[in-house]
Amino acid sequence: MCDVRWFQELKEDPRLKTRVKVENYLLVQLGMRPCSQTTMPVDLPDAEEMGSTIDRMMSPKMGQIKGEPDPRRRLAAIASLKKEMRAAYNQVVKGSEQYRAHLDWADTLRLRTRIVDVRPTVQEMYVFKERRLGGELKRLMKEREKIRKRAYARASPGMDRVRLAYSEEFEGSWLRDLGEILGYPECCVDAYASDREGGLNVEERAATQLEESLRAGEVDPMAYYVGYFFPCTPDCETALFKGKEGLSRLADLDPSWGNLYSTIVVENMENIRRQPEIIARYRAKAQGDLGGRP
């Protein structure tokens, strides 16, 4: 266990979001989940400002690409844009105090990290304790690249661009492996993977289940024990157990951490309830971005 004084400093550090402090660092450090995933810059406090800054930096180049009629020159311009986007990301995001704070806190809390490039301006940071998980993550990320290459090789003009960009989200075996690494309940991982494989909308399913449960009576938000997690049902016993156990351990560490966690799981539950509208907005933006970006 780390020196408890660090936990107070973590609480007061404005460079990390409160949810990320609790779910992605403390729950891993306390052994309540084997690994967490933080998306950069989405999970940083200044994510919106960082994204806008990068967009402004790339805007002139984007305009040149859209106006280039020659296919070969257009491809060359796209390759050049990718390099410039990575450079902008390094400057704006990786060069920020908020990004550095994640590395510093992982080190302070004696946690390991693996950082994975997802897009020129998107990275995933995995935080974990056990050394073996680093190897498992490395294998899984190599498999993701293979899945994406296969998807691009089979792409057709009418293919859903979001499905093309995130093709691993429709590979059940890959999803099950990642879910296990992140410590999600097996029943919930299986439901998520089966829905994706079957072409069912996970977000719609989870939101509908929650709405129906709320109409029938109270729902214990502890089933939504971490963000971006979709329980198989709102009353999943395994998810509820994980949430309640996490609350107990955090409260033992410091009652104020328990209070924060109680607020966070309610926010997580509300986020699931609003998933259909959130996804609709995201897909609309992604479709537009993918139409002009590599």
Q: What is the pLDDT of residues 233-277, one digit of tens each?
A: 999 999 999 999 999 999 999 999 999 999 999 999 999 999 888
pLDDT at 286: 54
> What DSSP state is assigned to residue 94?
I
pLDDT tens, 163-215?
Answer: 778 899 999 999 999 999 999 999 999 999 999 999 899 999 999 999 999 99
Q: Which bin fits 79, alpha (ψ -120 to 50), beta or left (φ > 0)?
A: alpha
Length, in residues, of the chain: 294
Q: Alpha-carbon distance 32 to 210, whole Å?
A: 25
pLDDT at 287: 53
User: If pLDDT is split at 50, 70 and 90, which confidence band does 77 have?
Assistant: confident
pLDDT at 155: 79
| Choice among 42-51, 148-157, 242-251, 283-292 with the minimum mean pLDDT | 283-292
Element (H, E) at 87: helix 71-89
Look up the pTM and report it. Answer: 0.90
Half-sphere CA count of 180, side-chain side, radius 13 A: 10
Q: Alpha-carbon distance 81 to 168, whole Å?
A: 25
pLDDT tens, 103-145?
Answer: 999 999 999 999 999 999 999 999 999 999 999 999 999 999 9
Q: Quick one: average pLDDT of 62-90?
A: 82
Q: Alpha-carbon distance 94 to 100, whole Å?
A: 7
Domains of the chain by residue range: 16-129, 131-183, 200-294
Residue 2 has pLDDT above 70, yes or no: no
